[in-house]
A and B are shown apart, each in its own frame.
Chain A
């Protein structure tokens, strides 16, 4: 399906192709991320979701096509300028052994610092605000190694928030969390979008979570976008079968009223 960029968005790709080694992962993708929305990318394993996210955040250099951020091709910015506009929380993030929460989150201020500069009041305010927004302020002096999975994930999100970027991309932020922590994290993200004037994009595995929290879905298969739109528009039994090869019924979620996918 050919999707045209219909409105000028902060972040959009134009016929973007991405390779991993010599294999093409994403083919000719033109997609616009709605400003101030919560966009979720869904699709089967290996469909190129994470690669698209990495492409949008200039972690993978395009083989063809371009990514535009705030009216300019993303590669025309310095990496520092991009890092002040667009944040990414990758799956591979690792905490140095023995580091404390406050120090880890403060590393999110890297884009605002120079080689020999000192810690500013602005840095301090941003870090405390990020800790507060993620309810991790009371963990500030704890070692990251000693935290539970849910706490640790909130700390990583605090790091990304301390970066204070208008656009924030998250690669499978709920992986390895139990159901309660998943919901807690998604509520946090929705809250951030609503109160913080932010544009969020996440890769999520759970379809029903995606339907409940996203206001825009991008459905990918085999490195291409099959369809995109609001959950209510695109989550239909025929679309889910085309996407995952899974026969299902779609009912209304009794709590949120969003589509709920029930496999047959």
Chain B
């Protein structure tokens, strides 16, 4: 257009509008190095300790030794699963926080975990299925169903208390499905036993063929999530201003829900409901890099993956020769982190 308002020449000696994102880049660098270390640790540590040098050798040139088999058939699949699940949960948690503007919102609060759990329990008790593939499909379907229900109840409206409605709808669905799950598992001890191990969140028994389902689903969710960062920045200014700036809140919300369902549903289906990752990751990243959802969105899969892998490694080491499930350790680590954040925030607002 040639009739733009005539530009005012700005004073170029002033500091730039957006200072160079040193903090974000440093955080990215730190997370990448942490992730590399953690991946190596995840491959070396466990009931059978190996030096990292040995691990790298075996990764480059697998042989027929027992160490090689442990790495290639047990620890590598488990590490890759941890990376995928953690990245997915980090991204999903960031989306949920940006969408609800509720500091306590995580995948559990939107009823996604309870939808997956309910579907798994129904599958176990009605059809007696304990096949990993079917469980995956049931959990994915259950999360999707729940996400759609919560979205219809609370997410699609455009009103002023839209954020509250979203969270309330999630809590309502979550609690009622949790009750149904409780009733079924209470009266069927066989179902309860199989359900129990899934429900604490575990990475140790990825079923064969899992990655061919998991990778495309999480990949699609991640691409959607990463493309939404700028629009979520506009949405953070309120729906009216977002619309005036050309972002479409309804469309952004629908896409976010789609991405959350894909990411969270598949992560929960693969490893059980792992809490706290989706809650802690976006909070911690906001403290580190500020309010720009684009940076937080890019960093969240790194931070999520690192947190899940660290939890998994600790779970393997704390109770040797046994193991603590990753979901339990995440909660153990997540609680002090969350408390630290709360103390930090209350100091800041004072």
Q: List the B side residues contacting A124 at CB < 8 Å.
A: 16-18
A237 CA to B224 CA, complexed, in Å: 59
Q: Shortest 6 CB-CB distances between A and B: which pairs? A: A83-B246, A128-B10, A90-B240, A88-B244, A127-B17, A129-B8
Q: List the A side residues contacting B227 at CB < 8 Å.
A: 115-116
Shortest CB-to-CB span from A186 to chain B, Å, is 18
Q: List the B side residues contacting A89 at CB < 8 Å.
A: 241, 244
Interface residues of A in 167-209 (CB under 8 A from B): 195-198
Interface residues of A in 13-60 (CB under 8 A from B): 54, 57-59
Which one, B8, B9, B238, B292, contacts A90 given CB within 8 A? B238
Q: List the A side residues contacting B233 at CB < 8 Å.
A: 107, 110
A57-B244, A82-B246, A99-B291 known; 6 new pairs, CB 8 Å cut-off, are: A59-B244, A98-B286, A102-B16, A103-B290, A128-B14, A166-B4
Chain B: interface residue total (CB-CB under 8 A): 38
Which one, B5, B15, B16, B245, contacts A107 given CB within 8 A? B245
Q: List the A side residues contacting B12 at CB < 8 Å.
A: 128
B209 at the interface (CB under 8 A from A): no
Shortest CB-to-CB span from A217 to chain B, Å, is 23
B243 at the interface (CB under 8 A from A): yes
Q: Which residue of B lies closest to A167 (CB)?
A: B5
Q: Which residue of B lies closest to A196 (CB)?
A: B5
A98 touches B246 (CB 8 A): no
A79 touches B243 (CB 8 A): yes
A123 CA to B17 CA, complexed, in Å: 9
A79 touches B248 (CB 8 A): yes
Interface residues of A in 157-172 (CB under 8 A from B): 163-166
A141 touches B15 (CB 8 A): yes
Which of B18, B160, B247 gathers most chain A CB within 10 Å? B18
Which of B160, B227, B245, B290 gathers most chain A CB within 10 Å? B245
A95 at the interface (CB under 8 A from B): yes
Q: List the B side residues contacting A137 at CB < 8 Å.
A: 11, 14
- Known contacts A57-B244, A132-B11; A85/B1 CB under 8 A: yes
Which one, B1, B16, B234, contacts A110 given CB within 8 A? B234
- Known contacts A102-B17, A107-B233; A97/B291 CB under 8 A: yes
Which one, A54, A128, A196, contacts B17 given CB within 8 A? A128
Chain A: interface residue total (CB-CB under 8 A): 61
Query: What are the interface flags for B221-254 relative to A under an 8 Å C-beta threshold, 1 for contact and 0 otherwise?
Result: 0000001001001101111110111111000000
Interface residues of B in 16-47 (CB under 8 A from A): 16-19
- Known contacts A113-B230, A132-B8, A166-B5; A93/B240 CB under 8 A: yes
Q: List the B side residues contacting A90 at CB < 8 Å.
A: 238, 240-241, 244
Which one, B15, B234, B238, B246, contacts A94 given CB within 8 A? B238
B49 at the interface (CB under 8 A from A): no
Q: List the B side residues contacting A97 at CB < 8 Å.
A: 291
A166 touches B18 (CB 8 A): no
Q: List the B side residues contacting A95 at CB < 8 Å.
A: 237
B244 touches A105 (CB 8 A): no
A72 at the interface (CB under 8 A from B): no
A197 touches B291 (CB 8 A): no
A96 touches B236 (CB 8 A): yes
Interface residues of B in 287-302 (CB under 8 A from A): 290-292
